[in-house]
Every structure is written in structure tokens, then in C-alpha cells.
Amino acid sequence: MSAVTIKRGKILVYRFFEIGSEVDLKKLATLMQEKQNTTRFRIDRPGKTGLVIANDPVTVHLGPMNFQVEENTVQAEVDVRLWDFGGMSICFQIPIKEGSTWDDLVRVAAWLERDPNVDLVAKNKARDFQQEIKETITVLNDWATSEDYVVYFIQDVEGVGENAMELFDLVDVPALIMAEPKERLSDQMKKTVRDYATQYARGDLCVIDWNSALVVEPSGSMDVPRVLEFANSQLLEMRYYDDLLDEKLDSLYKGVMTRKSTILSNFFSRQAEEAGQIYLEIAEVVENVENSLKVVGDFYLATVFRTASARYRFSDWQKSINEKLGNLAEVSKLLHSRVAETRSFWMELIIIVLIAVELVPFFRELFH
């Protein structure tokens, strides 16, 4: 294993946040223009991607910062990327020391996995940047949950033949992916990691796991990390709206169970209107998120995106959200039905009372 050394590469440490309901990217680009550090998200191989991006996110370069890696201090480039659906990623690009062995890289991976400082720095930067651009966000969000991901990007590795897939035979790739320098991983776990490996050319390699990925790309192209970043941003949005639906459904259920309808109360009417509005808003946003990147061809990056979607279990999240949206629609119907029944009951009662009042003079004359 010591024969394999990394000559050039970097570790991309990502943190993903949900900062608002919608970001006006044009307004954001104008706001950031004076800093001369804004670019639009792009794929370097447009003729080969098989991907269509609905609205390119905006990237803001924050520049270098000192970053602690084990006992060393290194300079890491920091980028912030924002999507129109309210997602934001912060990426710390940490250079891999030239001549590092595979064991060195695995040890650094384990350190980054357990270091709480990364989360702290990322959350502070996310909060500060959210406040800086708040005028471009429709509704600010302070959802505490975030998503983390790490990409080990290797451009030049020594000790490996023409086929980058040989890495699986020469070094412990699963140990890096799982950030486990000491545990002896089972054959089943190793097979699971290898099952999610894909190649475009013999010299490159992409191994995708739920929390990290290994990308070997001699050309230095950042296409694959960008696609993985996009997939992670979509995953976080699905988690956010799944959580939001749980909260809204729980609130509606409790309201229905604890309140009684009266002629003077429009509680159920308000709840029915709110449920219908929430359904329309969330269904529209979820559709926009799901359609923000489409696969239109069976090319390498499209394959990477589909592999990431499978590994991140997109289908499970989509199913959960669709089921909860269905429940929300049913709750809205039930509330509207309950409002209609209550109104019908009181209307019938009022009619009976009015008829009785009209009959009072008749009975008074009859008995006299």
C-alpha cells in the first residue's frame, strides 16, 4: 500500500444548508458584482454531460483561509454556492500534501470526519453570508439541520497503472470512503463500496458513497464534484420539505383533535385554507427542486448523477414527500368537508328557528 502516493490532489469538504424559500440569483449576482468574485455554475463538457440545469446556481469565492488539519495549518480556498430554491453549499478546498501515502490520506479523512471545528466554521460562515444576502431571499430560514459531504479529488497518483480501477487492488479504497483507518472492514462492506464505482476513461474513477466520494480525474476537471454537489443540495432540500411536512401535518392533526367547531369560530375554515395553501406551495417547490437538473442522455456525468441519486436514496425521500403531500391534501379535503357540514348544520338550525318564529303568531291566534 505504501507504493501508492498522491502527487497532486485536494479534499473538498462540503456543508449544505437550507437558508430560505427562494433566492433571487440575478439580484444576488448584482449584489456580489462589486466584489468581483462571483461566477455561474458550469459544466466543462457541455456536449457530453446529458444534463440540463434549469437555473444555474451562483458561486461566490470567499478566498483563502487558514485550516487546521491534524497538527498542521494549511490554506484552504472557500467557495459558497447558492441555488434558486434556497439551498447553499460551503466548500473548503484543502490541498493534499504532495507525496502523501494512501494511509496518510485515510488518516486525514478520519480526522476531518471527527473534527467538530469544520461544522462550527461552516455554520458561522453560512449564518453570516445569509445575513449579507438576506435582501435576495424571499423568506429567511433558520432550519438547524445541515448535510455534510467529502470528495477526495486526486489528479495525479503514483504507483497505479493505466487503469485507475487498479486502486481497489493496490490500496484500501473503502477505508478512505468510510474514513476508517483502524477498522478492518468486512468483504460485504467493501463490495458495497465497489458496486458504486464508475469510469468514463480508464484513467479516471468515481466511487460514490452516501457520505463521501473518491474522484480520480487526471485532467483536473471539476465536473464530477459539481454534479455530486448538486445531488447533495437536492437531497438536503428533500430532507427539509419532508421535515416541514411532518411539522405541518402534526400541527393540523393536533388542531383537528383538540378544537370543536362553533358558529362563532372559523378555526376549521382557517385550517382548511392553510392546509390547501401549504400543499400548493410545497408541491410547487418540490417539483422545482426535482426538475432543477434533468438527465437527458446516457453519458458519464448523467451516470454519475443517477448513481449518486441511487446511493443517496432519492426515491425513498421522494416517496415519503409524495405520501405526506397526499396526506396533506386529504386533511385539506376533510377540513373543508367538516366546515361545510358545520355550516350546513347551523343553516338548517337557523331555518328551523326562523320557521318557528314565523309560526308563533299563527299558533297564538289559533289558541285565542
pLDDT digits (tens, 9 = 90+) for 77-115: 999 999 888 899 999 999 999 999 999 999 999 999 888
- In this structure, the answer to whether residues 88 and 177 fall within a common structural domain is yes
**Does residue 255 register a pLDDT over 80?**
no
157/256 same-domain check:
no
Strands 72-82 and 5-18: unpaired
| Three-state secondary structure call for residue 355 | helix
Residue 199 has pLDDT above 90, yes or no: yes
Residue 301 has pLDDT above 70, yes or no: yes
pLDDT level of residue 264 (50, 70, 90 thresholds): very low
**161 part of a folded domain:** yes
Residue that the C-alpha cell 485507475 belongs to: 164
Q: Is the pLDDT of residue 298 over 70?
A: no
Q: Are residues 16 and 98 in the same domain?
A: yes
Residue 181 has pLDDT above 60, yes or no: yes
- At 44 the pLDDT is 66
125-162 pLDDT, tens per residue?
999 999 999 999 988 888 888 999 999 999 999 999 89
Average pLDDT, the chain: 84
Mean pLDDT over 292-297 rounds to 62
Q: What pLDDT is recorded for position 295?
A: 60
3-state helix, strand, coil in the chain (%, to 5): 50, 25, 25
- Residue 187 shares a structural domain with residue 321: no
Q: Which residue has the higher pLDDT, 248 or 148?
A: 148
Q: Answer whether residue 46 shows pLDDT above 70.
A: no
More confident residue, 330 or 66: 66
Alpha carbons 20 and 155: distance in angstroms, whole number: 36
pLDDT at 345 over 80: no
pLDDT band at residue 356, thresholds of 50, 70 and 90? Answer: confident
d(CA 233, CA 274): 28
Number of domains, the chain: 2
List the single range of 13-22, 49-58, 355-364 with lowest mean pLDDT.
49-58
Q: Give the number of other CB atoms < 10 A from CB of residue 18.
A: 25
119 and 207 co-located in one domain: yes
Give the dihedral sign, CA 68/74/75/78. negative
Residues 240 and 214 in one domain: no
Q: Which three cell numbers stand for residue 165?
A: 480501477
Residue-number span of the structural domain to which 155 is assigned: 5-220
Do 212 and 100 lie in a common domain? yes
- pLDDT tens, position by position, 200-217: 999 999 999 999 999 999
Residue 293 pairs in a beta bridge with 53
Highest mean pLDDT among 234-248, 264-278, 297-311, 332-346: 234-248
Domain boundary among 172, 199, 220: 220
pLDDT digits (tens, 9 = 90+) for 326-338: 887 777 666 666 6
327 and 265 both lie in a single domain: yes
Coil, helix or strand for 224?
helix
**344-357 average pLDDT score:** 80
Tell whether 184 and 256 lie within a shared domain: no
Instruction: Indicate the pTM of the whole model.
Output: 0.83
d(CA 339, CA 345): 10
Which letter does DSSP use for residue 202 in this model?
Answer: T
pLDDT of 64 strictly over 80: yes
Same-domain pairing of 23 and 107: yes
